[in-house]
Amino acid sequence: MNALKRTRRRAVTLVEVVISAAILAFVSVGAMSALVVSTKMAMHAQEDMMALEFLNRQVELVKSTGSYANLGVSEFAGTEVFEYDPNFTQNGPTFTVEYEWYGFGVVTSATTTSLSFNGSTWPGDVSFQNAAGEFDGHYVVLRRGNQVARITGHSKSGNTHTFSIDYALNGWANSSWGTNPLAGDAFEVDGGKWCRITVNWNSPQNSTNARSHSREVFVPWRAV
């Protein structure tokens, strides 16, 4: 009888070991999965920091450029590709930088209370593409004649954009241009150039995981 009891005790102990091992394996798999997820999250956060650092650097480079006239024309125009660390490319993502310039252009036609231009290069997914534009209340500056007028509306038909303007800057009375703009006259909103800078990248660990950060930057006019 005692031998039978000892055998039963050993059988129960063996079952307990098997169950414990199964529980341990289940917990270990869960812990490993959590570790993998947390590692990926940490790597994504690190890449985000790299991208923001790189984006801020590009913004400062644009703002401090020595040639205002070439901004958006031959400098910081279109798309550029950069390695975060050219010496150790495996340590960081490859950044594709897009520069979208807007807020300035050349007059195509004008009336006493409006100014039209070709806005085909302006970003297409921002609110100032609509009639109720975000430039309402801002000021358009014409270099020829040093004229300044307040923007009261913005309409768009195809690539042709039209600013409705009021030459009375205080907004209390309606007034037309002092001298109507001519085709070919350069203009700027608020006396400078605007740019949306977007940094796109794919994680080295997941090439299908496309991500991006953007910032808007305004560069005031200067005679250089």
DSSP string, 148-181: EEEEEEEEEETTEEEEEEES-TTSSS----SS--
Question: Cβ of 41: how many Cβ atoms within 10 Å?
Answer: 10
Nearest by Cα to 215 from 51, 83, 65: 51
CA distances from 176 to 170, 172, 191, 203 (A): 13, 13, 19, 54
Per domain, the residue ranges of the chain are 1-224
Give the per-residue pLDDT at 84. Answer: 74
End-to-end CA distance of the chain: 105
Mean pLDDT by runs of 10 across the 224 residues of the chain is 52 62 62 55 75 92 88 89 71 85 92 90 62 75 87 86 84 74 92 92 69 90 76
Query: Is the whole model's pTM more than 0.85, yes or no?
Result: no
